[in-house]
Amino acid sequence: MSGIRGIDLALDLARMPALAHSVEEAPLPADIFEVMRIAAGSPENCQLASKATGQPVAVLIEAARFYLQQVLLRSDADPYRVLGLPPGASRELARCHLRCLLQWLHPDVNRDWDSIYTERVLKAWREVSCNVSNSRSHVGEPGSRARVNSGPKIKMPWIENPRTSTQKRRALSVGIGVAGITLLMAVMIAAYASHSG
């Protein structure tokens, strides 16, 4: 991880979006978690960054979100990158980053398009969590590996099975389409009745 402040990188990228390709493979700044906290709207992190940069909080939040989208949430990013983690990071650090990203991306909080990244973040968490769990072993017989308890399963009801979610979206689309056609026909009949009556 580099020594440049993450919020400065985010502001530079916001000023010059054409730099996005140059930051895709760049090392993550050491304070990437602070950028995540700003993207999540943490009041204390936003105020500190505002004092340090002289930029309004709203500008910092948007710059941080754009930066994280370009640097962490790319479709080709590996799970550690998605969570803003160095390879081999602990499960506790991964969980901390997951929580922070979900504070920004959770569909109940974020009604914008950003919430589409939630599934990618959760998938990365599952992969990183599994890797961390599988890489640990307990003291025992040589060569034996005990199953590591990965803790309680995280239940995220807003993320459904992709097949079920797709089926529900199709059914909802059809229902909305039928309702729209019905409403249009009712308006046309009412308009015709008022003109002919």
Please write the tens of the pLDDT for every residue from 72-100.
988 889 999 999 999 888 889 999 999 99
Give residue-wise pLDDT tens across range 126-136: 998 887 655 54
Stated pTM of the model: 0.63
Please give the Cα distance from 164 to 162 (Å, whole number): 6
Q: State which residues form the domain around 115.
A: 6-137+148-155
**Nearest CA to 32 among 107, 76, 89?**
89
| Domains in the chain, number | 2
Same domain, 49 and 119: yes
In terms of domains, do 41 and 129 share one?
yes
94 shares its domain with 46: yes
Is residue 142 a part of any domain in this protein? no
Q: Are residues 68 and 123 in the same domain?
A: yes
- Do residues 49 and 126 both lie within one domain? yes
User: pLDDT tens digit string along 143-174?
Assistant: 333 333 333 444 444 444 444 555 666 666 66
Indicate whether 55 and 93 sit together in one domain: yes
